[in-house]
Structure 1
Amino acid sequence: MSSFFPLAIPFIAMFDMGNSFMVAGTTQAIVETTAQQKKHGFDLRDPLRILLKSPPFVVYLLMIILAIFKIKIPMEVLAPFTFISHANSFLSLFMIGLFMQISFKKSGLAVIGRVLVYRYLFAGILASFVYFCLPFEHLVKIVLVLVLLTPISFLTTIQATQFGVDEGEAGFASSLSMIISLVLMSAVVLFL
C-alpha cells in the first residue's frame, strides 16, 4: 500500500499500531479469559497475565512507552535487530507454508468457508460504511477500505493452533485469505 499511496503511510501506521495490540495478544487474552470465565468467573488479572506473557505485545508496549518519552535507542543496539528483521517476510511465508496442509476433512472446509465469508462480509460492510458515510478525504477512505480488506494475520494462525484448531485448516484459511485480499485490494486500487 505504501508504494501506491506514499502519502498514506501515517494512516497505515496508525492502523498497524491498533491492529498489533489486538493480534499480538489482546484477542488471545479475550479468548482465554472467556474460556476461564466459565470456570471461575471474571478476574481482570487473567487477561493482564496473558498479555504480559505475549512477547510481541510486551515489546510493542515498551516501544510505545519509549516513543512517548522520546527515548531513542542507539543504532549500535538496533543493528543486530535490523539484520534479523529483514528475514521477517520470508519467515512469515515459511511458517504459513509449514502450517498449510491440504489434507483436512470436508467439515474443515465448511468451517474455513464460514470463517472467510464472515470475515469478508463484515469487512465489506465496514468498508462500504467507511467509503460512503464517513466525512474523510478520499485518500483516507481508500486506505481505510484497504486495511479492512487485508488478509488474516499470521499470528492469528499460530494462536488458532494453540486453541486446538487443526494446523492445516488454520494455515489454509490464512493462505486463502491472502489470495482473496490480494484480489479485493487490487480491485479497490483500480476502481476507487
Structure 2
Amino acid sequence: MLDVIVKVSSFVLIILIGIAAARSGKFGEGASLLISRIVFNLTLPCAIVRAFESAELTPALLGLIPLGFVMNIVPFLASYLVYRRRPREELVFQQANVCGLNIGCFALSFVQAFFPATGVVATCLFDAGNSLMGTGGTWALIRSLVLGTDHDLLRDRLKVFARTLFSSVPFDCYVVLIAMGLAGAHLPEPVITLISPLADANAFLSMFMIGLMIRFTVDAQRAHELARVLAWRLACSAALTLAALFVLPFDGVARQALIVLAWAPAASTGPLYTLWAGGDDGLAGMANALTVLLGVIIMTTLVIVMGVQVM
C-alpha cells in the first residue's frame, strides 16, 4: 500500500507544481498550450507505441474500442434527451462536460505505473474508442444538436469531423498499431529504444499540463449545474465498473484496468468545447478540476483494494 501511495503522491505533486507554476506567471500565458502540443504530438504517441510493442494484441481485447465509444455517446445522448429544453448556455455546459475521459494525458500514465503491458494495451484500445468523441465527435454533436447550426452543410461538417479525427497523432497511432498488431507485425527493437526517453517523459508532462490548466473559479449560483454534471459522470463511472465486474468478458488484468479507467477525470476538451459554444468555460474548468481530484482519490483506492502491484 505504501508503494501505491508514494507513486500516486508523485503524480499529485507534479499537478500541484503545475498549479503553482500557472499562478506564478513565470511560464507565461501560452505554457499550457505549448506543453499540450508536445504531449499530444510527441510524448503521448511514443508512450502508445511502446505500450503496444510490449504486449500481445488479442482479438478479445478489440471489444474495448467500441466500448470506449459507447461510454461517450450514451451519456451524451441520454443527457441531451433529458435537458434539451434547458436554456442554451446551461445545455452547452452539460453536453460539453457530461462525457469524455482523460485517458491519454492522465489515466494512461496512471495505468503504466501499476499494470503490466496487457493492462496498458487495454487502456490504449479503450482510448481509441474514447477518442472518436474526444477528438471531434462531441463538438460535432454539440454544433448539430445544441447550437443547431449548419444543418444544410452536413457533408461539409462530416469532412471537418474526419479531418479533425485523422489529424490527431495519437488516434493515427492507434489505427496503425492496431492494424499492425492484427497482422502480427512489430516495430524493430532499436526503434522502441530510440523513443523510450520520449515515452518516459509523457507522465511528467501530462501531469504538469493538467496542473497548468486547472482553474478554481465558479459562481455559487451555478453550483447546481456543477453538481448535476458531476452526478451524471459518477453514475456512468459506476455503471461501467459494474459492467466490468459482472458482464464484460475480459480477463483479470484487462478487467482491473477497465475498472480504474472508469473513474478517469473528464477530458480536457470539455472546457474548450464549452468556450467555443459560448458557455460558461469557468464553470467547465472547475468541473474538470474536481474530476481530477475525484479521479486521483478513487483510482488510488481501487488500485489498493484490488491489490495491484507497482510496476
Q: For residue 9 of structure 1, what is the aligned residue in structure 2?
A: 120
Q: Does 1:114 align with 2:225?
A: no
**CA 1:14–1:49 in structure 2 vs 1: closer, same or farther (change >3 Å)?**
same
The residue aligned with 2:169 is 59
Q: Residue 165 of structure 2 contacts residue 171 of structure 2 at CA under 8 Å; is this kept in 1?
A: no
Q: Which amino acid aligns with 2:232?
A: Y
How much does 1:150 deviate? 0.3
Structure 2 Cα separation of the partners of residues 23 and 46 of structure 1: 16
CA distance in 1, matches of 2:272, 2:260: 24
Q: 2:299 is matched with which residue? A: 185
Q: In structure 1, what is the equivalent of residue 6 of structure 2?
A: none
**CA separation of 1:64/1:150 partners in 2, compared to 1, >3 Å: closer, same or farther?**
closer
Residue identity in the other structure for 1:101: F
Q: Secondary structure at the match of 1:3?
A: helix
| 1:1-192 matches, cutoff 5 A | 1-7=111-117, 8-35=119-146, 37=148, 40=151, 43-52=154-163, 54=164, 57-64=167-174, 67=177, 68=179, 82=198, 87-96=205-214, 100-102=215-217, 104-192=218-306
CA gap 1:46/1:181 in 2 versus in 1, 3 angstroms: same
- Whether contact under 8 Å (2:128, 2:174) holds in the other structure is no
1:153 alignment partner, SS class: coil
* Deviation for aligned residue 1:64: 4.9
Distance 2:153 2:145 in 1: 8
Partner Cα separation in structure 2 for residue 60 and residue 13 of structure 1: 10
Corresponding residue pairs, total: 182
Structure 1 unaligned runs (5+)?
none
- Structure 1 runs of 4+ aligned residues shifted over 6 Å read 83-86
Does the CA-based 8 Å contact 1:160-1:170 persist in structure 2?
yes
Percent of aligned pairs with the same residue? 21
Q: Which amino acid aligns with 1:119?
A: R
User: 1:150–1:181: 8 Å Cα contact kept in structure 2?
Assistant: yes
Kindly state the Cα deviation for residue 130 of structure 1 after the two structures are TM-superposed: 1.5
Q: Which has the higher contact order (CA 8 A, sep 6+)?
A: 2
Cα 1:164/1:62, change in 2 over 3 Å: same
Distance in 2 between the 1:95 and 1:60 partners?
20
RMSD between aligned residues: 3.2
SS of equivalent to 1:43: helix
Post-superposition Cα deviations, 1:168-190, rounded to whole Å, max 9, x if no partner, equal: 21111111011111121122112
Q: Indicate the larger mover: 110-119 or 61-70.
A: 61-70
User: Aligned-pair distance for 1:144?
Assistant: 0.9
Aligned amino acid, residue 128 of structure 1: L
SS in structure 2 opposite 1:135?
coil
